[in-house]
Amino acid sequence: MSSELSPSLTRTAPPAPPNLEGLGGPSPSAAEPAAVAGSRPERSSRARRQRVRLALSALPLVLFILIAALGPLVFPYDSVTVRTGERLKPPGEILADGSRALLGTDQVGRDLLAQVLQGARISLLVGLATVAVAGLIGLLVGVLAGYYGGAVDAVSMRLADIQLAFPSILLAILIAAMLGPSVVNVIITLALTRWVTFARVARAATLATRERDFVTAARALGAGDRRLLGRHIIPSTVGPLVVIATVEVGLVIIAEASLSFLGLGTPSDQPSWGLVVANGRAYLNTAWWISTMPGLALSLVVLAVGRFGDQLRDTLDPRAASRA
C-alpha cells in the first residue's frame, strides 16, 4: 500500500482516493442514465459529439504547431544584430526600415514577434522531445516491472517513490544547475524528472492486462514473453500513456519556461519564452510588452494543451466525463 499512497499527482487527473480497506472506492456516477441504458443510436450520436469536441479542442494545437514550424520562416529571428535605434518600441510601432513591430521590440531592438515565434519552436521541441524520451523510459521500466515483477519491480518502483519525494521543479533545478544551460540539457533534465509518471501508468496497465484471459490463452497457445509483451501488453498501455502524455506536454512546457526564467534552461541566444519574460523584468516600467507577450503565448498554449488533454481523457474514458 505504501507506494500507492505516495505522491503520484498529475495536473488534470487527481489521484484516486487511497484504496484503504473497508472504505471502498468512489462509485462510478451515472449522471447520464441515457448513456448507460441508452439505445444504440443515442450512444453513437453521443460518441460522435465527443469526437467532434475532441477535434475542435485539437484545432488550437494544430495552429500552434503550424506557427512554430512556419512562423520563424516568415519572421526570422536574429539573435546577434543589435538595433539601438529601435530599442523598446511599443507594439504596432513602425520602425525606421518601414516594417511594423507587431509585438514591439526588446531592450536591444530585436523584434519581439520573431522571438515569440522562435520561442514557440523551443517550447514545442522541448515539450515533444521530453515527453517522447520520458514516455519511452517510463514505458520500458513500467512494462518490465509490471510483467516480470520481483526485483526489477521492487527496485524501479522504490526509485520512483524516492523521486516523487522531490517537488519535481526542485529536482529539475538541481539537475539543470549541474548540467548547465542548453536545449538538450533541458530535455535530459525534464525527462529525468518526468519518467516516473509514465512508468507508474505503464506498470498499472501491464498489471491489469497480464492476468486477463486473452493473455493466458495466448500463453497457453505457446506465445513467448516477447510476443506477449509486443502483441498484448504494450498495446494495452498505449491508451493510458497517451492521455498522460498530453497532460505532461503542458507541464513540461511550463517547466522548461520556469527553468529558462531562472536562467537554468536555454542559453541566452535561444529566446525561450521563459528567458524573454525574465529579460523583460528589468523594463517593466518602460516596456511592459517584453515580459507580457511571451507569457501570454505560453499561457495560451498550455491552456490549449490542457483542454485537449481533458477532451482526450473524456473520449477514451467516458465514465470520467460526467465527473471531471
By the rule CB under 8 A, 184 interacts with other proteins: no
For other proteins (CB under 8 A), the number of binding residues is 69
Binding status of residue 90 toward other proteins by CB under 8 A: no
Shortest distance, position 164 Cβ to other proteins, whole Å: 8
Smallest gap from residue 250 Cβ to other proteins (A): 7
Q: Which of 11, 51, 100, 319 binds other proteins (CB under 8 A)?
A: 11
Of 171 and 233, the one with the shorter C-beta distance to other proteins is 171
Interacting positions 284-313 with other proteins (CB under 8 A): 284-285, 288, 291-292, 295, 298-299, 302-303, 306-307, 310
Q: To the nearest whole angstrom, how small is the minimum distance from the Cβ of residue 159 to other proteins?
A: 7
Q: How many CB atoms lie within 10 A of CB 324?
A: 12
171: contact with other proteins by CB under 8 A: yes
Which residues in the 129-158 window bind other proteins by CB under 8 A?
158
Q: Which amino acid is at 282?
A: A
* Overall size of the chain counted in residues: 324
Minimum distance of other proteins from residue 208's CB (angstroms): 21
Packed helices 288-316 and 40-74: angle between N→C axes, nearest 10 degrees: 150
Residues 118/100, Cβ–Cβ less than 8 Å: no
Instruction: Compare residues 179 and 218 and give the one whose CB is closer to other proteins.
Output: 179
127, 188 Cβ separation under 8 angstroms? no
Stretch that binds other proteins, among 10-18, 49-57, 120-128, 226-234 (CB under 8 A): 10-18
Nearest-approach distance from CB 197 to other proteins, in angstroms: 13
Torsion of CA 303, 309, 312, 316, to 10 degrees: -150
Whole-number Å distance between alpha carbons of 279 and 268: 10
Nearest residue (CB) to other proteins, 9 versus 70: 9
Q: Do residues 133 and 78 lie in contact, with contact meaning Cβ atoms separated by under 8 Å?
A: no
Residues 6+ apart with CB under 8 A from 267: 181, 182, 183
- Restricting to residues 202-261, which ones interact with other proteins according to CB under 8 A? 250, 254, 257-258, 261
- Give the shortest CB-227-to-other proteins separation in angstroms: 36
Q: How far is residue 278's CA from residue 259's CA, in Å, rounded to a whole number? A: 11
Q: Which residue, 300, 110, 93, is CA-closest to 102?
A: 93
φ/ψ of 105, rounded to 5, equals: -125, 165
Q: 56, 63, 170, 184: which one contacts other proteins (CB under 8 A)?
A: 170
The least distance separating other proteins from the CB of residue 283, rounded to whole angstroms, comes to 11
Look at residues 142, 158, 181 and name the one whose alpha carbon lies nearest to residue 3.
158
Residue 191 as a binder of other proteins (CB under 8 A): the answer is no
Is residue 18 a contact residue for other proteins (CB under 8 A)? yes
Q: Which residues contact 216 (CB under 8 A, 6 or more apart)?
A: none
Residues 19-38 that bind other proteins (CB under 8 A): 20-23, 26-27, 29-31
DSSP at 93 = E
Q: Which of 88, 218, 262, 316 binds other proteins (CB under 8 A)?
A: 262
Cell numbers that stand for 112 in this block: 519581439
> Buried (b) or exposed (e) across 98-132, using 16+ Cβ within 10 A?
eeebebbbbbebbbbbbbbbbbbbbbbebbbbbbe
Enumerate binding residues for other proteins (CB under 8 A).
Answer: 2, 5-7, 9, 11-12, 14-18, 20-23, 26-27, 29-31, 158-159, 161-163, 165-171, 173-175, 177-180, 250, 254, 257-258, 261-264, 274, 277-278, 280-281, 284-285, 288, 291-292, 295, 298-299, 302-303, 306-307, 310, 322-324
